[in-house]
Structures are given as C-alpha cells and as structure tokens.
Chains A and B, each alone.
Chain A
Amino acid sequence: MRFAVLVFPGSNCDHDCYHALKHVVGVEASFVWHKEESLAGFDGVVIPGGFSYGDYLRCGAIARFSPIMKAVEKFARAGGSVIGICNGFQILVEAGLLPGALIRNRGLKFICADVNLRVETTGTPYTAEFRKGEVLTMPIAHAEGNYTADPETLEKLKRNDQVVFRYCDASGNAGDAANPNGAMENIAGIVSEGGNVLGMMPHPDRCAEEILGNEDGLRLFKSMVNSLSESRV
C-alpha cells in the first residue's frame, strides 16, 4: 500500500505525516512535489498541514492551483482516499472537494493545544475502527480553523452523515465552551459525499505514537489503511 504525501511550498507537516505512515503505521509513503501532475500508483493521498504559500492570500487559495491538484481532483472523483489535515483541509475546501470554508478563529489567535473530539460517524474509512460517540484527544494548531458553511450545506452535511468529528469536552458534550475556534456546530472534520475525502483541522499525525503520549491519530491512520486493504481484496 502506497501513500502520496503532497509537498507544497510552505507545507510543514509533510515530514510528520510521512513519518507516521512510513515508520509508525508501516506502509509505503512518498513525497510528491506540487508541480507533479500524476498520482498514478498511489492508493491514498495525504495533504499535510503547514502554511502553503505562507497562507498569504487566504489559506489554501493559492495551493489549489498547483498542478498536482488536478490529479488530486481526478483521484478523489474516482473514489480514491484523500485526507487533508489542517492546511490540507483548507486546500481541499478551496479546491471545492469539500464544502464550506475555514475562517479566522473567533479568538483571532493561533491556537496550539490538545482538544477533545467526538466521533460522529463510523461510516467512513477513517473512523471505521472507532466507536460512535467515542471521545478522542488530538492536537490542533491553526489560526483559521473556524468551520463555516451556509445553512443548506450544514443541513446536507448532517443529513448525509458527513460530519466526522466535533469538538467536545472530556465527557463528550459538544457545547460552546469546548469549541476552540468558533466552528459552526463544533465541526472539526467532514467527509465528502462519497465518504472518501476527509478534511480535519486536528492533527492525527501529532498523536500517532506512544512517546507523544497519545495514539488516537494512529488509530485513524490504521482505520484508513485497513479499510483500503479490505476494499482492495
């Protein structure tokens, strides 16, 4: 099984995702430069966090025009597994592969901290091995993670079971006090209608090893890999 870890100018969690996949999960991983145009031979794509193009215009707004994004779109439309983490989520939204927008945190500051997440659906390849309603802990690290969408989009996301993670407290209550960035309905991660494209602000790549004190991210990656193996059989 082989994963592409995309590298845009300004990506900075590319090494972290590569390390988690290759050295912790134990699958093949390769860096793919944004000027490449093909994803042939890959079983999954990871768009890592960071500050593509410095986040200078609007997070993800320039990266979506990189040559590789045409290939990502094709890969996703064909049902391929694509996971965008943090800046990767922002790029997916800008590219129109996921609905909505990620705007400035309501506190207007960058936040780097562990947060609690409630698993809203296990009907995705990324969460198949969690329990619905289970509370996970993952770090966030962003200034623009405030998920925003129009009412129809939100309604559609909920109707189709596309909301994957919500920010919550330690007991699983997704109230305002547990919302770090002002995201609508505490949304931390969503999938595409087909369920194959996941965008999430929290970083599974930062909690995939025992030495980092938390392996909830590893469970997500393993779930993804296992689902892909099953679908290949």
Chain B
Amino acid sequence: MTQLHEPQFACHVEDLTVSYREKPVLWDIDLDIPPGVMAAIVGPNGAGKSTLIKAVLGLVPPVAGHVRLFGLPVGKARGRVAYVPQRQSVDWDFPTTVQDVVTMGLYGQLGWLRRPGRAERARALAALEQVGMQDYARRPISQLSGGQQQRVFIARALVQEADLLFLDEPMAGVDAVTEAAIVALLKAQRDAGRTVVVVHHDLQTVSRYFDWLVMLNQRIIAQGPVAEVYTEENLRAAYGGQLALIGRLREAGDE
C-alpha cells in the first residue's frame, strides 16, 4: 500500500522544477488544487503552463520535486485522471472515426489484450452525446472543424469518468458558441464533484468561467480563489510591464 501524501488535495505539487537543456522552464513550483474546483492556469507565453500540466501527468520528466494526485503518485492515479492535449498535437488526417477516437480514451482502462466491445462503444456514444457530437459518431475525423475536433477530444476525456480533468487550451481557436458549450460542460463536471484544471489564455473571461486561479510565470505568482488572486498587483507580477493592457483587462473583468 502506497503511503498517501497530502490526500486532501486533488493535485499537490511540491518543489517542482523542470528544465529543457539547462534552461529552467518551471522553477520551484508549489501548487495545491483542492477537489471540486474549476481552476484556470494563466500566464504569459512561455510561462510554462502546458509544461506544468505535462509535468504533473508525468509526460515531462522533472529535475526536482514531486507530484501527488489525490495523495498518490501519478503512476498509481492514472485511472482517476484524464488529459485533453492541445488539439494541434495530433494528425487529424488519421484514418479513424469520431466514435473510435472517443473509445481510445478507454484503452488504458481496458488493459492488455482486451479489445473494446459493445459496452465501450456505448460509453463512447454517451460521451459524444454529452458534447453534442453524437450525430458525427461514424464520420472520419478528417472532416471535422476545429471546434468539433476540440469537442471530440473532450469527449475522449469524459468517457474515462475521471475525477480530475486536465485540459490544455481547450478554448483556443474555437468560436464563441463552442466556447460557451465547452464552459457549460466543464462547469457541469465540476458541479458533479469533479476537479477541472484548464490552461487558459484569455484573461477577460477568467473570473466568469473559473472559481480557482493559478498565475504562473515560470514560478507560481499567486494561487487561490479567483476573487482573491485576480488582482492588478498579481497580474502585473505575472505579465510584467504591460500596465495599460492590464488596466483595461481589470475593467473588462469587473463587468
């Protein structure tokens, strides 16, 4: 039995440092995300937002520090975690159907030598219904638009029924309607008791969409409930000298 460490947090990161070839990308990260929140990770380009998620999931090796998900090392928590990579990370001309991609979310749970059967296909279809893509189940993925690709990727994560969801820029390059649908979907996940962690790039919508906020610029600038963290001082610390811009964003965020 593995010793639980900080099991009260959905995601606990301590002293995490990641570097690509001598250059630190993430520096001494201490991060705690409580269960049941919808959290945004924001920061300027190059702040290491995607790298943080990847390091938490064990996709990028850290040079120091440790990560616990629900008190467990990530290798033992795989069944409780789902990940939505940036959709540009795959070749959408791959010969497969929408439903098949969603079924792929279950491959890890199925285990070796077992093939997906009727039960798995039904679960995939249910996940597609959640994102409103059930009519596209048999379509080749090469025919999807950007927003549809994103919804299929989210369905592939939902089908895993994980307690903790990590999404890398799910709102990047989708239209306003799709964005609203994705936010509603993720809020429903949170309301069902799950924890949702999203790399987000749009400061104007942070306080409307999220209830937990992590500001990152290679180091953690601030973390906590959005109302406490979304301050001009923190924004300035994260984004540097772009004061005029931040002033306007504050007003937009307060609307």
A and B physically associate: no
